[in-house]
Structure 1
Amino acid sequence: MSGPRYGGPVTTALLAYIPSPDRGVWYVGPIPIRAYALFIILGIVVAIWWGEKRFVARGGPAGTVVDVAVFAVPFGLVGGRLYHLATDWRTYFGPGGNPVNALKIWEGGLGIWGAIALGAVGAWIGCRRRKVPLPFFADAVAPGIVVAQAIGRLGNYFNQELYGAPTTLPWGLEIYERVDPATGASDPLGGVAVDTATPIAIVQPTFLYELLINLAVAGLIVLADRRFRLGHGRVFALYVAGYTFGRFWIEIMRTDPATRVFGDIRINVVVAAGVFLLAVVYLVVAPRGREELPAEVFERAGVEPPGADGPAEADTAENADEKAGDRTP
């Protein structure tokens, strides 16, 4: 959802401000191609691809991450949308709202907290079918998830949303007025910029800050995993702690409308703080070291476990570096 509009053209001398795209939707005949949806899909593909590589490198059978993703991805999308609707329900069900828009997930509006929570339920279902411990799976896919979040923030850039207060910083983001070319009516999501030479606001690009934080968290957890051979869900917990720590400050900077609690505190500030504390507690109490997958995982996949003689010999060679020094990301 877009932040508040600022009336009147910006007359401040432009420095090296970041221009917004003039639109976030293109049409191939009658078919809309939405940048937001494309980046969400790209993020999912990257998360599955990298998660599969890490899962195999940690000793798991190939194909498991793809199988589990069949459950985790749709659950995550539904959870993300439900959280967004629960915390921003006035946009759709309040005065002037249109309940039908609640179904238009391609226009933006996914809450990461709901996506992770319900996505974890889907992952649990998929892991049970493959006999894989959920913490082992979560540790493998954690870096890919946070990189997927970073990629998804590019969709917010094209939608001109999730930005902060006006700024004169050289990396401020230019916001343009967008209208429907056919009617001239204001259309911030689906419209086209009226005049890219005269932005209506220059704001803090908080979506960009979060994108960079996400990439930094991905690097942090990969390095920590290699150095300390984390297991039992501690890689995932470190991702959650790092992400929520950054998100706490990003939420404070944002100016778009949001549900407020405890007086005038954005609800996502409270959620970020609470989830951060839970992640830190888990990091402290979780078992140290890295667990081995039970034999039934490989029986269910119809392959030999790493180290066993037989058809899986090639796989064990591929995993030799992982077992020796965990050099595979």
Structure 2
Amino acid sequence: MILAIPFPDISPELFAIEIGDFRFALRWYALAYIAGLVAGWWLIVRAVKRPALWPADTPPMRPEQVEGLLTAVVLGVILGGRIGYALFYSPGGYLSDPLSILRIWEGGMSFHGGLIGVAVAVSFFCRRNGVPPLQVADAMSMVVAIGIGLGRVANFINAELWGRPTDMPWGVIFPGDAAQACPGPEGMLLQGLDAVCARHPSQLYEALLEGLLMGSVLLWLAWRRGWLKRPGALTGMFFVIYGLSRFAVEFVRQPDAQFASPGNPTGFALQFAPSVGLTMGQLLTLPMILLGLWLISRARRAA
């Protein structure tokens, strides 16, 4: 008998206001973004107010400049995340309907696309304000795990980005026909007269690895081990920890449906790299790990 956990009855909306035909709803996913950005802004302001944390005891920017950095990050996350999702995960659909890329309320955001978008936006911010890009990147790397962790919890509440079928006792029975479409007997169990599917809660795995674990390590290195004094080192460690965490979780995370094939109904083997069995998330993560190792090595040599 396969044990499983029923999906908790949590609404994706924190609250909703309806006036006539007008409806406004605050979703947990939006709240995760807002909380992550506000918490990150607060921590960076605190860090730049402590000169001893930085090279030559000189912060890379003034506390009031952090608000401009926050604006750049917001634009980079939204634009980069949406465009990245269209290019990496669903190019055919968006080419047939280009305007659909503007409908962000329909969902579909790519972390890697958002990362590229933030890099571009922050580069403009640094050039315009004359601040050192690597030190600003370190400040952002110190706090980014907060938003990532909260975002993964919101993914779980939204019952999206679930994992592959499992017979582990902590498997979750996610709602929806797509989640119940188990390709084989693994994870299938009888509930009454109906067969349902238990899946890995991969969103929570990512929240623990990419959020709690990574955030704790990066904050400890920044505030206790002096890593902000070596430009690029903390950014490199972020790339390495996130890359390894994401690579590992991809083994139990259900890949995007557009990469499935009749001979591979789980979509596990990426169509661009079938010989090595990578998912799109793993393929995009490998350059991050290599870049992170290079940044750490570079920072150690410059110390």
Q: Structure 1 pair 91/256, CA: closer, same or farther in 2 (3 Å)?
A: farther
Q: CA deviation at 1:91?
A: 7.5
Alpha-carbon deviation of 1:18?
5.8
Q: Choose the corresponding residue for 1:50, options 24, 37, 43.
A: 43
The answer as to whether partners of 2:2 and 2:167 remain within 8 angstroms in 1 is no
Compared with structure 1, are the counterparts of its residues 13 and 72 closer, same or farther at alpha carbon in structure 2 (3 Å cutoff)?
closer
AA aligned to 1:74 is L
Q: Secondary structure at the match of 1:235?
A: helix
Q: Per the alignment, in what secondary structure is the counterpart of residue 63 of structure 2?
A: coil
> 2:202 matched to 1:202?
no
Q: CA deviation at 1:109?
A: 1.9
Q: Distance in 1 between matches of 2:195 and 2:215?
A: 34
- Structure 2's unaligned 5+ residue stretches are 54-58, 178-190, 260-269
Aligned to 1:224: 221
What's the CA shift for 1:19? 2.4
CA deviation digits over 1:236-290, x for unaligned, max 9?
1111111001101112221232542122531221111121012101211235678
Question: Percent sequence identity over matched residues?
Answer: 24
Equivalence for 2:184: none
Looking at structure 1, the residues matched to 8 and 99 of structure 2 have their Cα atoms a distance apart, in angstroms, of 28
- Within 5 A, what are the aligned runs for 1:10-21? 14=3, 17=5, 19-21=7-9
8 Å CA contact 2:255–2:279 kept in 1: the answer is no
**Which of 258, 262, 273 is the aligned partner of 2:273?**
262
1:7-49 alpha-carbon deviations (Å, 9 max, x no partner):
xxxxx5655x262445424532122332222222222222222
Q: Secondary structure at the match of 1:262?
A: coil
Give yes or no for the alignment of 1:175 onto 2:174.
yes
- Within 5 Å, which residues of 2 pair with 1:1-329? 14=3, 17=5, 19-25=7-13, 27-29=16-18, 30-57=23-50, 58=53, 59=59, 60-89=61-90, 92-93=93-94, 101-177=100-176, 200-214=196-210, 215-225=212-222, 226-230=224-228, 231-257=230-256, 259=259, 260=270, 261-263=272-274, 264-286=277-299
Please give the alpha-carbon distance, in whole angstroms, between the structure 2 residues aligned to 1:72 and 1:278: 21
The one-letter code sitting in structure 2 at the alignment partner of 1:27 is A
Alpha-carbon separation, structure 2, partners of 1:138 and 1:86: 25
Residues 130-154 of structure 1, C-alpha deviations (whole Å, 9 max, x = no match): 2210111111121211211111112
Q: Which deviates more from structure 2 when the two are superposed, residues 47-56 or residues 117-126?
A: 47-56
Separation in structure 2 between the aligned mates of residue 24 and residue 101 of structure 1, nearest angstrom: 23
**Contact 1:51–1:142 (8 Å) recurs in 2:** no
Q: Helix, strand or coil: the match of 1:63?
A: helix
2:235 partner amino acid: F
The count of corresponding residues between Structure 1 and Structure 2 is: 260
Counterpart in the other structure of 2:187 = none
CA contact (8 A) 1:175 1:200 kept: no
Paired residue type of 2:227: R
Give the SS at the match of 2:49.
Answer: helix
Distance apart, 1:52 and its partner CA: 2.1
Give the 3 Å change call, closer, same or farther, for CA 90–138 of structure 1 in structure 2: closer
Distance 1:22 1:100, change over 3 A: farther
CA distance, structure 1, for counterparts of residue 175 and residue 195 of structure 2? 5
**Aligned to 2:7, what secondary structure does the other structure show?**
coil
TM-score by length of 1: 0.70
Q: Which structure has the greater CA radius of gyration? A: 1
In structure 2, relative to structure 1, the CA distance for the partners of 1:229 and 1:278 (3 Å cut) is: closer
- One-letter amino acid of the structure 1 residue matched with residue 47 of structure 2: R
2:71 partner amino acid: V
The residue that corresponds to 1:293 in the other structure is: none
